Structure 1
Amino acid sequence: MNRWLRRHVDAIYERVLSREISGAPTHVAVIQDGNRRYARRRGGDAHEGHRAGAKTTERVLEWCQEVGVEELTLYAFSTENFERPPEEREQLFDLLCEKLREFADADRVHENEVRIRAIGDVERLPDRVQAAIDYADRRTGQYDQFVLNVALAYGGRTQLLEAARGVAADVDAGDLEPAAIDVETIENRLYEQPVRDVDLIIRTGGDERTSNFLPWHANGNEAAVFFCTPYWPEFSKADFLRAVRTYEHREESWRRTRARRALALLGALGESDLPEARSVVERFRDSLPSAERPTEEDLREPELEGTEPVAD
């Protein structure tokens, strides 16, 4: 298929996918895999692949805003990446500095009020990268319409371990009661600022694993996961829309499952003291096939025997 025809077919496919999407995930997290393999396939070095991938990152940011995503987290540099060859590592650091400053100064970032921040053990990064992170934070710190998290020197297990150590230290010092430890206690120690639960994880490059990425916010929220074969520089808008559609289908399935479980509970027990189950059915009733959908009468709480309605 020639290039013109390929672009024409892709454009039609994008329009079809766009019409099928009715609701976007709030928080999308992306594992940008395949930059180096993309470069090798084209006879280039790793730096060329990373630079090509940076262009995809810019496009994905725009696509997220188009469909209504409110937070995007990019897995840009993991703790394992410190083991890469020094030359490749330094070139990647230079690119991160360049792009952080470029994004922080971009008109579209300020027009759309995008907050840029880094998550991870940033103190392990070179001073120049830390300076670029601080610059982006100062330039966009007042915004809250869209959040762009850049995961740098990031390891999910490490983040959880440090949070657990902080909680243990507070308990040992008598500043925190064990019975008072809850979800918020851990979340407040993971990052300096709140991170929303992850609704959708996207991984490019063909590997089907989530690589220890945002385990608290993704696994805890049972995030949908979309694996695809294109390398990150090749990731297209059609791929992105397919990922969003995967999230929607998973969300619809989750709603149907919850409604069916609640209906089964009501049917099995027939009790009037199951308000939570009844509430679940009422919330998700429209997600059920019409043949399974209960009526308003079915969901009405039974009146206690021997009682009369109280007149106003």
Structure 2
Amino acid sequence: MVSVVRRWVSRLYEQLLEREVSGAPNHVAVIQDGNRRYARERGEETSNGHHAGAQTTEALLEWCDDLGVEELTLYAFSTENFNRPADQRAVLFDLIEDKLYEFADHDRVHDAEVRIKAIGELDRLPERVREAVAYADQQTRGYDQFHLNIALAYGGRAELLGAAQSIAANVETGRLDPDDIDADTIENRLYDGPTRDVDLIVRTGGDERTSNFLPWHANGNEAAVYFCAPYWPEFRKIDFLRAIRTYEHRAESWRRTRARRALALLQAVGSAELSDAKGIVRRFRDTLPTRELEDVDLSSDTDPDPRAD
């Protein structure tokens, strides 16, 4: 009876959270931590924890579809994971291989036009895993409705280091002028995978760190981060909705901060030529109290610079 009541209350709370969420992030990145601890606390083999976590991953894909998330990146195997014992690595590689083939052939993946790609130092993976990666890539190459990125043999520092080395080599050979190096130059040399910046990072298992995960795509975009205690196999839709609520609060706070900075600039200088600042204040004026907008003239003959958007 108690379990029935708990399920009913949980479902009621989930519905409440769904009503509170007004807009999902475009790109969510997940650090799926706690599979082994989940198994050990139950006296089971660690492989059971990874298989239980795979079920949560499948559920997450459904939640993303329900809520309108357009891109998901999963931290499946880091470069640090190569330091694990060979038998543990073999279990992970078996599971990754199986799931790649399963996802690539799943009707739901094709019905939803899911694009599956792997990112990382793929040449370090066993041949059988690389073959599964290639198969999933080939089977979904024509899709773009939803992007699923699997980070395998991935490390953010290694990714940025590789980009820097590539740029340095081009500068040394004269193929690239140092003055021409910009953000696009770096992005073009990162792993081929994410199609947009990360809006929200979720980490399960209790640790509050992002573990070298997508530093360029997340930190540059000031992504929201949600840390939670449940191990990955225990992660529920309620937890995901809480993460999205954190993202919404973070986005709202960012809009207010940007508007206040622009407003402070207008109040300090008061120049009608500050179209960038005026454009920002106009766009986000609803986030600021009326008292903060008093005595500020937003009228101007100059249209706001579109870059302010």
TM-score by length of 2: 0.95
Query: Given residue 83 of structure 1, which amino acid in structure 2 is its aligned partner?
Result: N
Alpha-carbon distance in structure 1 between the residues aligned to 2:293 and 2:60 = 38
SS at match of 2:213: coil
TM-score by length of 1: 0.94
SS at match of 1:36: helix
Write out aligned runs for 1:167-206 (5 A): 167-206=167-206
Residues 258-297 of structure 1, C-alpha deviations (whole Å, 9 max, x = no match): 11111111111111110000011111112223444569x8
Structure-2 change in CA distance of 1:5 and 1:194 (3 Å): closer
Say whether the 8 Å CA contact 1:285–1:294 is kept in structure 2.
Answer: no
Give the C-alpha shift of residue 78 in structure 1.
0.3
Say whether the 8 Å CA contact 1:187–1:194 is kept in structure 2.
Answer: no
Say whether the 8 Å CA contact 1:36–1:49 is kept in structure 2.
Answer: yes
Structure-2 change in CA distance of 1:47 and 1:194 (3 Å): closer
What is the match of residue 299 of structure 2?
Answer: 300
What is the match of residue 306 of structure 2?
Answer: none
Alpha-carbon distance in structure 2 between the residues aligned to 1:89 and 1:138 = 25
Alpha-carbon distance in structure 2 between the residues aligned to 1:87 and 1:264 = 59
Give the C-alpha shift of residue 46 in structure 1.
1.1
What is the match of residue 50 of structure 1?
Answer: 50
Residues 51-80 of structure 1, C-alpha deviations (whole Å, 9 max, x = no match): 000000011111111111111000000011
SS at match of 1:298: coil
Residues 29-66 of structure 1, C-alpha deviations (whole Å, 9 max, x = no match): 00000000000011111110000000000111111111
Alpha-carbon distance in structure 2 between the residues aligned to 1:219 and 1:122 = 24
User: Where in structure 1 are there 5+ consecutive unaligned residues?
Assistant: 304-312
Alpha-carbon distance in structure 2 between the residues aligned to 1:224 and 1:259 = 19
Say whether the 8 Å CA contact 1:113–1:146 is kept in structure 2.
Answer: yes
Alpha-carbon distance in structure 2 between the residues aligned to 1:122 and 1:106 = 23
Aligned residues: 302
Structure-2 change in CA distance of 1:17 and 1:84 (3 Å): same
What is the match of residue 3 of structure 2?
Answer: 3
Say whether the 8 Å CA contact 1:159–1:190 is kept in structure 2.
Answer: yes
What is the match of residue 15 of structure 1?
Answer: 15
Alpha-carbon distance in structure 2 between the residues aligned to 1:104 and 1:206 = 31
Alpha-carbon distance in structure 1 between the residues aligned to 2:293 and 2:175 = 51
SS at match of 1:190: coil
Give the C-alpha shift of residue 242 in structure 1.
0.2
Alpha-carbon distance in structure 2 between the residues aligned to 1:188 and 1:150 = 19
What is the match of residue 308 of structure 1?
Answer: none
Give the C-alpha shift of residue 83 in structure 1.
1.1
Alpha-carbon distance in structure 1 between the residues aligned to 2:294 and 2:76 = 47
Instruction: Confirm or deny that 1:93 pairs with 2:57.
Output: no
Higher mean C-alpha deviation, range 168-177 or range 263-272: 263-272
Alpha-carbon distance in structure 1 between the residues aligned to 2:38 and 2:10 = 21
Alpha-carbon distance in structure 2 between the residues aligned to 1:174 and 1:7 = 65
> C-alpha root-mean-square deviation of aligned residues, in Å?
1.5
Say whether the 8 Å CA contact 1:286–1:293 is kept in structure 2.
Answer: no
Instruction: Confirm or deny that 1:163 pairs with 2:163.
Output: yes
Alpha-carbon distance in structure 1 between the residues aligned to 2:201 and 2:291 = 33
SS at match of 2:103: helix
Alpha-carbon distance in structure 1 between the residues aligned to 2:251 and 2:271 = 29
Alpha-carbon distance in structure 2 between the residues aligned to 1:28 and 1:302 = 40
Alpha-carbon distance in structure 2 between the residues aligned to 1:110 and 1:159 = 30
Say whether the 8 Å CA contact 1:188–1:194 is kept in structure 2.
Answer: no
SS at match of 1:299: coil
Alpha-carbon distance in structure 2 between the residues aligned to 1:3 and 1:114 = 36
Higher mean C-alpha deviation, range 263-272 or range 201-210: 263-272
Alpha-carbon distance in structure 1 between the residues aligned to 2:235 and 2:194 = 29
Write out aligned runs for 1:281-296 (5 A): 281-293=281-293
Alpha-carbon distance in structure 1 between the residues aligned to 2:98 and 2:228 = 28
